[in-house]
Amino acid sequence: MRRIVSESSKIKIINNLLVLVLALYGISQKRFDLEEMTLFQRLVVEVVAPVQKGFANSRQELSDLINNYVRIVNTSKENVYLKEKIARIESDLFQMEEIRRENFRLKQMLSYSEDIGQEKILAQVIGWDSANQFKVLRLNRGSNDGIRVMSPVITHMGLVGYIYRVGPNYSDVLTILDPNNRVDALVERTRTHGIVEGVFNYRCALKYINRTESIEVGDRLITAGVGGIYPKGVKVGMVTDIDREASGMTLGVEITPSVDFHKLEEVLVLMPKVATTAQVTTPEPETVKGK
């Protein structure tokens, strides 16, 4: 019985192998004959092909659009970054230029004051009386820094004024533009003495000059060194106008200060050699306004 079953299984395996061989042989011998499209097939192709082409083009355009958008976004971000970087660089350059200018001004002041044998304190102008033509300035130094009343204030350009009020950390300067600040000055060329007083429009007047004095437009004035406040030889200003038609025995002389009060940023406060107890009568200052 077992022998009959075994022979039957062998016959099935042989039949299956023959079928598989014949199938493979048939596939290898099959021909794919070329045939023309029917009228219906051509119509279908003519209708469908443009649509397929449109989809293909649209897909390519959409891909290009997305790629361009991505590039634009990336370029925009890069531009923002570069603009911020340029702004930081410009800010750094501006600060460096400001430091360079400040160092130049300080160097000029310190060089100018070397011949003045007095202790000096550097101070910055932090405010002024803008309603009163810079007649009063406020400095960022006070009694805690050694500033005292009646200390003269100068720059490398010339005379600014003197300290008339002092607080612990701040002090106020009465400039030569104020008529209450009288400066004993002399004409550098002729050595003629006179009194410089503030008048108006950022100008001063040289008073008590005899009509017979040989004074000319362009003459420079310096401090005379009398009066116990200002040292001798500090530039005060220049003669810019002479009124010889005025009546009286004296000339009307207009002085333009050497210091440009519109551009004043740093000053030097000179410490008096000897403490003074002199009292200066000045009007109660108006409120000093910040820059």
Mean pLDDT of 111-115: 63
CB 186 within 8 A of CB 232: no
What pLDDT, on the 0 to 100 scale, is given for residue 280?
42
CB 265 within 8 A of CB 124: yes
What string of H, E and C letters represents the secondary structure of 111-153? HHHHHCCCCEEEEEEEEECHHHCCCEEEECCCHHHCCCCCCEE
Domain span holding position 53: 46-115
- Checking if the pLDDT of 70 tops 70, the result is yes
Per the model's pLDDT, the better-predicted residue between 153 and 65 turns out to be 153
What pLDDT, on the 0 to 100 scale, is given for residue 130?
63
Q: Are residues 142 and 275 in the same domain?
A: yes
Residue 13 lies in a domain: no
Mean pLDDT of 165-190: 94
Per the model's pLDDT, the better-predicted residue between 275 and 49 turns out to be 49
- Checking if the pLDDT of 183 tops 80, the result is yes
What pLDDT, on the 0 to 100 scale, is given for residue 275?
47
Residue 14 lies in a domain: no
| CATH classification of the domain holding 129 | 2.40.10.340
What pLDDT, on the 0 to 100 scale, is given for residue 116?
65
Residue 64 lies in a domain: yes
Q: Are residues 212 and 234 in the same domain?
A: yes
Identify the domain boundary among 55, 85, 115: 115
Q: Are residues 193 and 68 in the same domain?
A: no
Mean pLDDT of 122-135: 81
Residue 136 lies in a domain: yes
Q: Are residues 232 and 147 in the same domain?
A: yes
The dihedral formed by the CA atoms of 269, 275, 281 and 283, expressed in degrees to the nearest 10: 40
Rounded CA-CA distance 74/219 in Å is 67
pTM of the predicted model, to two decimals?
0.60
Q: Are residues 149 and 201 in the same domain?
A: yes
Residue 145 banded pLDDT, cuts 50, 70, 90: very high
Mean pLDDT of 148-175: 93
In sequence order, the β-bridge partners of residue 206 are 196, 253
Q: Count the domains in the chain.
A: 2
Please, what is the average pLDDT of the chain? 78
Rounded CA-CA distance 45/148 in Å is 105
Mean pLDDT of 163-171: 94
Identify the domain boundary among 81, 115, 149: 115
Identify the domain boundary among 96, 115, 134: 115
The structure tokens 């106008």 sit at: 241
Mean pLDDT of 231-258: 89
- Checking if the pLDDT of 35 tops 70, the result is no
What would the pLDDT profile of 76-94 be if each residue is shown by its tens digit? 888 888 878 887 787 777 7
Amino acid at 86: I
Per the model's pLDDT, the better-predicted residue between 168 and 17 turns out to be 168
Residue 223 lies in a domain: yes
Residue 281 banded pLDDT, cuts 50, 70, 90: very low
Residue 31 lies in a domain: no
Rounded CA-CA distance 262/157 in Å is 13
